[in-house]
Structure 1
Amino acid sequence: MTDQEAKNYIDNAFEKLRQITSIDGIAQLAKEEPTQKNRMNDAVYPALNFSISKADIAKLVELGILDDNHAFSKDMNDKLTDPLTKLLYATAWKNGDLPKIKHIIKGVLKETDEEQAIVFHQFGRYLTKTLGQPIIDQHVIRAFGIFKPQSKGDGKEWDVAAMRRLSIVNKRHNGIIAAYKEWLGSDGLSDELRQCADYTYHVDKLLFALGKTVKYAKRKV
C-alpha cells in the first residue's frame, strides 16, 4: 500500500463512519477488508463497563494501598486478600507494569501533567467515563492523524509517511490527541451515533483497526 493509497483508504473509511448512526454500523464497517484482520480482539480487550472515580482513588490511599504519590505502597503485598486482586497484581508485576499504574491514576484525577506515559494517562481519563475522553493508542492516533493532518508545532504538518511510521505516542502528538477529542464531539460523526452509550469506545476500536491496517509493514530480514 502506497502512502496515497493509505490516505485514500483512511479518508474513505472516515466518510463511511460519518454516515453511521449506530454501534452495529461501526462493527459492520470494521468487518470490511482489509480492516477485518486487524480488528481488536474482544476476548483480549473486552468492553470496560465500570468507571473509576476520584473517590475510589482516595479510598485506596486511605487503605494504604496507594502512597501519597499515587504509586503502590511498599507494603502493598501485605494488604492483598482477594484472590482476583492477587492474580491481577501478580500479572501486572510479571509484565513490569506496576509503575504504569500511577499514570492511569493521574488521568483519573485529571492532573494536567501529560509529559510522560500519555497513553496510560488518557486511559485513566477514559476510565472516569467522562464525556469526550476516549481511549487512545498508536493505531488510533495514526488513523486520525492521516485523516486530519495536524501541525507538529514547527509550522509543518505530520505527513502520511510519518503517521504510518508512528510507533510511540508522546507529547509531540498532543495536538493530534486534542483534535481527535474535539472531532469525537463534532458533526464529523452523526448526531444519532453520538447519542449512543460509550460510542467513543466503539469508534476507538474501529480506528485501531484502520490505523493498524495502514501502518508500514516491517521488512523481513
Structure 2
Amino acid sequence: MEFKECIIESFKIIEKSTNCEQLEDWEKELKNKLDKKNFIDIKKYPRIAFRFNDEDLDYFRDESNQELASLIGSSNDLKLTPREKLMLSMLWKNGDLGKEKHIINGLLNKDHEKSKKTGQIFHQFGRKLKSPDKEPIIDQHILRAFKYYQNTSNTGEYAYSEHFSKQNSKAISDYKDWITENVLANKPNPEDYLYYTDRILFGIGKYLKPYLKK
C-alpha cells in the first residue's frame, strides 16, 4: 500500500472504528509502514491525566495570576516548590514565557484574538485541557495530515501552497468540524478516541513533512 492510500485508509479507520483497540492496532501498523520515529514517544509525551477544575479556572480569572515571568523576577521570599522553580527555569530557557497566556485564554473559553498570528495552537491546547472529551490537540503535523487528506479526497492532489509554519484559522476550524461530525459522533469514549486520533495524525503529518516541501 503506497503512503497516499495508507493515509486515506487511516482517516477511514478513524471515522468507522467502533472501539479504541482498533485505533491502537492501526497505529502499530502505521509505525511499521511510515517509520515509528515519526510517531509520538509516549515516554516524552505521556498522556495528560490531570484536570483543571473550577477552582483552578477561578484562580486564572485573576489576571495577576496569568503571567509567569513576574514569578521569575520576584524575590526569593516567594514560596515556590523546588519542582515549580525547575519548571519555570525550563520555560525561561526555552523562551516560552508568555505563551501561557494563550493557554489560559483557551482554558477560560475566551476567543483567540484573530489579529494575532501566533498563539492559536496554544489557545486550542488550553481548550483541550479544559474539555479533553470534546477538543482535539492541534499542531502543524496534525493539520498537515488533515489538509493532505482533505485535498486528496476532493481533488486528488495536495495543495502545496498551504504554508503550515503559520497557524491557519480555517484549517483549524475545518479540522474541528471533522472531529465533531466524523470522530466523536456516537462514540462511547470520546476522550479516548481523541487521544488515539491525535497520535495517529501526528505521526502521519510528521511523516509527510519532507515529502511536501517545495
User: What range describes the TM-score normalised by the shorter chain of this pair?
Assistant: 0.7 to 0.9
**Counting helix residues as a fraction of each chain, which structure ranks higher?**
2
Structure 1 equivalent of residue 149 of structure 2: 147
Q: Distance in 2 between matches of 1:95 and 1:211?
A: 24
Q: Distance in 2 between matches of 1:190 and 1:102?
A: 28
Structure 2 equivalent of residue 185 of structure 1: 180
Aligned residue pairs total 199
User: After superposition, where does 1:163-178 map in structure 2 within 5 Å?
Assistant: 166-170=163-167, 173-178=168-173
Of 152, 162, 170, the residue aligned with 2:160 is: 162
Of 184, 201, 204, the residue aligned with 1:207 is: 201
Task: Decide whether aligned partners of structure 1 residues 11 and 105 sit closer, same or farther in structure 2, where only a CA change above 3 A counts.
Answer: same
Structure 1 equivalent of residue 34 of structure 2: 34
Structure 1 unaligned blocks of 5 or more: 151-156
User: After superposition, where does 1:1-221 map in structure 2 within 5 Å?
Assistant: 7-32=4-29, 33-53=33-53, 55-60=55-60, 67=64, 70-72=66-68, 74-75=70-71, 77-78=74-75, 79-114=78-113, 115=116, 116-129=118-131, 131-149=133-151, 160-162=158-160, 166-170=163-167, 173-186=168-181, 188-189=182-183, 194-198=187-191, 199-217=193-211
Deviation at 1:117, TM superposition (A): 1.1
Q: 3-state DSSP class of the match of 1:99? A: coil
Task: Decide whether aligned partners of structure 1 residues 124 and 59 sit closer, same or farther in structure 2, where only a CA change above 3 A counts.
Answer: same
Deviation at 1:124, TM superposition (A): 0.5
Relative to the length of structure 2, the TM-score reads: 0.79
Deviation at 1:217, TM superposition (A): 4.8
Q: 3-state DSSP class of the match of 1:177? A: helix
Q: Distance in 2 between matches of 1:29 and 1:166?
A: 29
Q: Distance in 2 between matches of 1:211 and 1:36?
A: 13
Task: Decide whether aligned partners of structure 1 residues 91 and 22 sit closer, same or farther in structure 2, where only a CA change above 3 A counts.
Answer: same
Task: Decide whether aligned partners of structure 1 residues 189 and 146 sit closer, same or farther in structure 2, where only a CA change above 3 A counts.
Answer: same
Q: Percent identity?
A: 30
Deviation at 1:57, TM superposition (A): 4.0
**Residues 69 and 97 of structure 2 are in contact (CA less than 8 Å); yes or no, is this contact kept in structure 1?**
no
Q: Distance in 2 between matches of 1:161 and 1:181?
A: 19
**Residues 26 and 203 of structure 1 are in contact (CA less than 8 Å); yes or no, is this contact kept in structure 2?**
yes
RMSD between aligned residues: 2.9
**Residues 107 and 126 of structure 2 are in contact (CA less than 8 Å); yes or no, is this contact kept in structure 1?**
yes
The one-letter code sitting in structure 1 at the alignment partner of 2:158 is V
Q: Deviations over 1:69-105 (max 9, x none)?
A: x322624544342222121111111111111111111
Q: Distance in 1 between matches of 2:163 and 2:35?
A: 18
Q: Distance in 2 between matches of 1:73 and 1:92?
A: 9
Task: Decide whether aligned partners of structure 1 residues 39 and 214 sit closer, same or farther in structure 2, where only a CA change above 3 A counts.
Answer: same
The one-letter code sitting in structure 2 at the alignment partner of 1:94 is K
Task: Decide whether aligned partners of structure 1 residues 127 and 8 sit closer, same or farther in structure 2, where only a CA change above 3 A counts.
Answer: same
**Residues 7 and 146 of structure 1 are in contact (CA less than 8 Å); yes or no, is this contact kept in structure 2?**
no
Q: Distance in 2 between matches of 1:103 and 1:190?
A: 25
Q: Distance in 2 between matches of 1:131 and 1:43?
A: 22
Q: 3-state DSSP class of the match of 1:184? A: helix
Deviation at 1:9, TM superposition (A): 3.2
Task: Decide whether aligned partners of structure 1 residues 8 and 90 sit closer, same or farther in structure 2, where only a CA change above 3 A counts.
Answer: same
